[in-house]
Amino acid sequence: ARKGKTPEEVVKRYLQKVRNPPEEDCTICMEALSGPSGYKGPGVGGISRAESVGRLAQCGHQYHLQCLVAMYNNGNKDGSLQCPTCKTIYGVKTGNQPPGKMEYHVIPHSLPGHPDCKTIRIIYNIPPGIQGPEHPNPGKPFTARGFPRHCYLPDSEKGRKVLRLLLVAWDRRLIFSVGTSSTTGESDTVIWNEVHHKTEFGSNLTGHGYPDPGHLDNVLEELRAQGINEEECLP
């Protein structure tokens, strides 16, 4: 969804004007900020010299406007922008996870390393389908292997917090994506996105099991990198 704005309008919303560009290179195109953008793609013309460089309002990193527009056009055009240097997210980041279902329930057993609580089991189910314009090969089918995928969290205060944030990540289509599996090498298939899940319950044969004392903090950090944090998702 473009929210009715052109890519240039979306990008400008997050930018401050820069009157005198510094003697530095734009890290998107590697050309000097004081000169023109090195990006010469379709649909990026018509940007006047006066507004050719912008500063991202929150983090302060500067780029050619044309380069940011090109970067935005390469993404899923959801109205958000992520600074390529420091990863600060402007707007609400969403992904390209295909349609499916996320369910969870508590099971009355403890995970290794969490003897004092029960366990939350999350069940993700995504059927195969046809890729949309937000996917690598629009119009081509994608496969979906190993679904339903079962994942486990301790039913502790922190585990429930992670669950709440994972539900937000699911709604924003950030848990899975379509691409090439690094495990199997298969392309055009549903793959885990940047948020790690534990898919083994009582053992740790794959490395995706318990015990793993740092797991919940790692997941909170990975969710934060997707723009999902505890402060904005209080119950």
Does residue 184 bind ligand NAD (CB under 6 A)?
Answer: yes
Which lies closer to ligand NAD via its Cβ, residue 70 or residue 178? 178
Q: How far is the CB of 207 from Zn ion (least distance, A)?
A: 32
Which lies closer to ligand NAD via its Cβ, residue 58 or residue 180? 180
Give the closest residue to 210 by CA, choosing from 146, 135, 152.
Answer: 152
Sites for Zn ion among residues 53-92 (CB under 5 A): 59, 61, 64, 67, 83, 85-86, 88
Which lies closer to Zn ion via its Cβ, residue 31 or residue 222? 31
Specify the stretch interacting with ligand NAD by CB under 6 A; choose among 9-17, 74-82, 119-127, 192-200. 192-200
Q: List, in order, residues 6 or more apart from 223 with CB less than 8 Å away.
A: 162, 165, 166, 169, 195, 229
Specify the stretch interacting with ligand NAD by CB under 6 A; choose among 59-67, 110-118, 121-129, 195-203. 195-203
| Backbone φ and ψ of 143, nearest 5° | -95, 165
Which lies closer to Zn ion via its Cβ, residue 61 or residue 118? 61
Per partner kind, with CB cut-offs from 5 to 8 A, the member of ligand NAD, Zn ion, none near residue 208 is ligand NAD
First-last CA distance in the chain: 27
Rounded Cα–Cα distance for residues 174 and 96 (Å): 7
Rounded Cα–Cα distance for residues 117 and 137 (Å): 44
| Backbone φ and ψ of 76, nearest 5° | -95, 10
Query: Of these, 181, 187, 204, 229, which contacts ligand NAD (CB under 6 A)?
Result: 181
Give the closest residue to 22 by CA, choosing from 36, 35, 33.
Answer: 33
List contacts with Zn ion (CB under 5 A): 26, 28-29, 37, 59, 61, 64, 67, 83, 85-86, 88
